[in-house]
């Protein structure tokens, strides 16, 4: 049974991610783990203990979290009514990444599906701070879903790579599984204008062999940035699913975390699967 963690701050964005997960995995037996984390109310260091008003406020915050999760559970059951999906709830006084790490260590999680931004997400940022934090510490695949994306079958999956990242077959199994389920075409796209090294050719050949059970193409985009290539593939084809391995301090980080979105002119409009590197 697949275990899918669904963080929520009860925003429209987080519900859209939950809805996407319910539809993407509709034919799979799943445990959907709804997670809401909340923070404690700071009080003066001079106080030995919180006063009653603070305690009362914390109880209200906790109750709101629990009640909010229950409403989300009911909404899932009402809108999708899938007997293959079991729902559990976690309400926690903890940081998001800390709680995700604890849940993963204790129960094991196969996927995290979350929105690209939170309730207060800025329009010109590619990802909200929570999403970036999860990317940086992830130990399992994360699917980030834009707020305005309506579910569509992933007929074409674009897997972008610089052919510099070592990988194990198990890391890319999520892409293979999704492609097999939906008979998707997987485009393994390399963006570079330089000749491949021997090591890069070896990685490319391994990828081609690994995806041989799916319809696979290995185009190379020259004289283009990765954002430009992504946008072109999205416009010209039926690409509605993007995937990468999170090779920190290299290709992935340079693309998404070292450039401001208003400088590269790129808006993520399709779901994005981020796979942890071997070192994770």
Identify the pLDDT of residue 269. 79
Query: Which residues are CB-neighbours of 128 under 8 A, at least 6 positions away?
Result: 115, 116, 117, 118, 121
The string over 145-180, giving b where at least 16 C-beta atoms fall within 10 Å of a residue's C-beta and e elsewhere, is bbeebebeebebbbbbbbbebebeeebbebbbebbe
**Can you give the CATH number for the domain in which 190 is found?**
3.40.50.620
Domain membership of residue 251 (yes or no) is: no
Q: Is the pLDDT of residue 123 over 80?
A: no
Highest mean pLDDT among 81-95, 161-175, 208-222, 265-279: 81-95
Residues above pLDDT 70, as percent of the chain: 69
SS3 track for the chain? CEEEEEECCCCHHHHHHHHHHHHHCCCCCEEEEEEEEECCCCCCCCCCCCCHHHHHHHHHHHHHHHHHHHHHHHHHHHHHCCCCEEEEEEEEECCHHHHHHHHHHHHCCCEEEEECCCCCCCCCCCCCHHHHHHHHHCCCCEEEECCCCCCCCCCEEEEEECCCCCCCHHHHHHHHHHHHHHCCEEEEEEECCCCCCHHHHHHHHHHHHHCCCCEEECCEECCCCHHHHHHHHHHHCCEEEEEEEECCCCHHHHHHCCCCHHHHCCCCCCCEEEEECCCC
**pLDDT, tens digit (0-9, with 9 covering 90-100), for 191-230:** 666 788 898 889 888 888 888 777 776 666 555 666 666 6
Angle at 36 between CA 41 and CA 7, to 5 degrees: 135
| 28's tokens | 């799979």
Query: Quick check: is 276 in a domain?
Result: no
Asked if residue 171 and residue 123 are part of one domain, the reply reads no
Q: Residue 274 falls within a domain, yes or no?
A: no
Band (279; pLDDT cuts 50, 70, 90): low
Residue 164 lies in a domain: yes
| Position 274 confidence tier, pLDDT thresholds 50, 70, 90 | confident
pLDDT value of position 212: 78
Q: The tokens of 220 are what?
A: 């190379």
| 187 and 78 part of one domain | no
Give yes or no: residues 135 and 161 share one domain: no
How high is the pLDDT of residue 240?
87
Domain end, chosen from 93, 110, 145, is at 145
Q: Which of 145, 169, 197 is the last residue of a domain?
A: 145
Q: What is the pLDDT of residues 23-52, one digit of tens each?
A: 999 999 999 999 999 876 554 444 445 554
Question: What pLDDT sits at residue 130?
Answer: 67
pLDDT score at 220: 62
Torsion angles phi and psi, residue 30, rounded to 5: -135, 150
When divided into structural domains, the chain yields a total of 2
d(CA 127, CA 146): 9
| CB 4, CB 32: distance < 8 Å | yes
pLDDT at position 208: 85
Domain termination site, one of 145, 167, 191: 145
pLDDT at 47: 43
Q: Indicate whether 127 pLDDT > 70.
A: no
Q: Which residue has the higher pLDDT, 268 or 166?
A: 166
Residue among 42, 45, 18, 12 at smallest CA distance from 30: 18
Quote the percentage of the chain above a pLDDT of 90: 33
Domain co-membership, 59 together with 160: no
Q: What is the pLDDT of residue 204?
A: 87
Backbone angles phi, psi at 100, to 5 degrees: -60, -40
Residues 131 and 65 in one domain: yes
Q: Tell me, what's the pLDDT at 231?
A: 67
pLDDT band at 70 (very low <50, low <70, confident <90, very high): very high
* 42 and 16 together in one domain: yes
pTM of the model: 0.83
Is residue 56 in a domain?
A: yes
Same domain (yes/no): 49, 176: no
81 part of a folded domain = yes
Domain span at 51: 2-145
Check whether residue 19 and residue 134 sit in a common domain. yes
pLDDT for res 45: 44
Among 53-57, 80-84, 121-125, the range with the most confident prediction by mean pLDDT is 80-84
Looking at the structure, do residues 28 and 128 belong to the same domain, yes or no? Answer: yes
């Amino acid at each position: 049974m697949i275990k899918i963690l669904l963080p929520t701050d009860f925003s429209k964005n987080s519900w859209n991610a939950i809805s996407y997960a319910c539809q993407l995995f509709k034919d799979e037996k799943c445990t959907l783990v709804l997670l809401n984390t909340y923070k404690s109310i700071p009080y003066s260091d001079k106080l030995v203990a919180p006063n009653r008003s603070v305690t009362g406020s914390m109880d209200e915050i906790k109750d709101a979290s629990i009640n909010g999760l229950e409403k989300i559970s009911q909404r899932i059951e009402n809108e999708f009514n899938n007997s293959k999906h079991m729902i559990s709830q976690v309400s926690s006084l903890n940081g998001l990444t800390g709680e995700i790490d604890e849940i993963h260590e204790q129960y094991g999680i196969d996927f995290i599906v979350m929105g690209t931004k939170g309730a207060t997400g800025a329009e010109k940022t590619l990802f909200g701070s929570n999403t970036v934090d999860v990317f940086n510490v992830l130990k399992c695949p994360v699917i980030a879903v834009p707020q305005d994306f309506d579910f569509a079958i992933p007929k074409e999956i674009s897997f972008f790579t610089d052919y510099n990242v070592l990988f194990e077959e198990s890391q890319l199994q999520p892409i293979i599984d999704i492609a097999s389920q939906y008979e998707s075409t997987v485009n393994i796209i390399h963006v570079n204008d330089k000749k491949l090294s021997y090591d890069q050719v070896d990685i490319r050949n391994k990828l081609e062999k690994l995806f041989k059970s799916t319809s696979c193409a290995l185009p190379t985009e020259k004289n283009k940035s990765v954002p430009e290539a992504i946008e072109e593939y999205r416009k010209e084809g039926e690409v509605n699913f993007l995937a990468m391995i999170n090779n920190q301090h290299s290709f992935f980080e340079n693309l998404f975390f070292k450039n401001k979105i208003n400088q590269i002119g790129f808006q993520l409009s399709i779901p994005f699967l981020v796979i942890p590197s071997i070192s994770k």
